[in-house]
């Protein structure tokens, strides 16, 4: 399991494959100076944070190999991030082949 550290004190755990896709979407939004809400659910609660270019973020991967990206999944996550509800962790589309992680 990898983790996303938000603002140095909030940690969200995701498998490396999911985290790699979230990283692409989040970095692309921040590169364009766009802020957005990000919501995820862990074992006990649902959390929503406001992600902005000024928020410290850290992506920590457990494995030493980066997963192959699924373009369709990246596009779906990016659409969610640009919506009024913001980025949410969506399931990976079943049509894509999975490699490695």
pLDDT of res. 88: 97
* 13, β-bridge pairs: 3
Query: Does residue 19 sit within a domain?
Result: yes
Q: Identify whether 10 is part of a domain.
A: yes
Question: pTM for this one?
Answer: 0.89
Full residue range of the structural domain in which residue 49 is found: 2-87
- Total count of domains within the chain: 1
Q: Using an 8 Å Cβ cutoff, are 49 and 37 in contact? A: yes
pLDDT, one tens digit per residue, over 10-51 is 999 999 999 999 999 999 999 999 999 999 998 889 999 999
| pLDDT tens digits, one per residue of 82-96 | 999 999 999 999 864
Q: Give the pLDDT confidence score for residue 96 in this predicted structure.
A: 47
H helices, E strands: number in the chain: 2, 6
Q: Is 47 a domain residue? A: yes
């Amino acid at each position: 399991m990898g983790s996303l550290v938000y603002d140095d004190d909030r940690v969200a755990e995701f498998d490396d494959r999911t985290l790699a896709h979230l990283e692409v979407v989040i970095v692309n939004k921040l590169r364009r100076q766009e802020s957005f809400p990000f919501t995820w659910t862990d074992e006990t609660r649902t959390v929503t944070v406001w992600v902005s270019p000024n928020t410290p973020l850290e992506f920590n991967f457990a494995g030493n190999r980066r997963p192959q990206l699924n373009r369709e999944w990246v596009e779906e996550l990016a659409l969610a991030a640009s919506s009024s509800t913001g980025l949410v962790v969506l399931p990976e589309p079943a049509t894509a082949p999975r490699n490695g992680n």
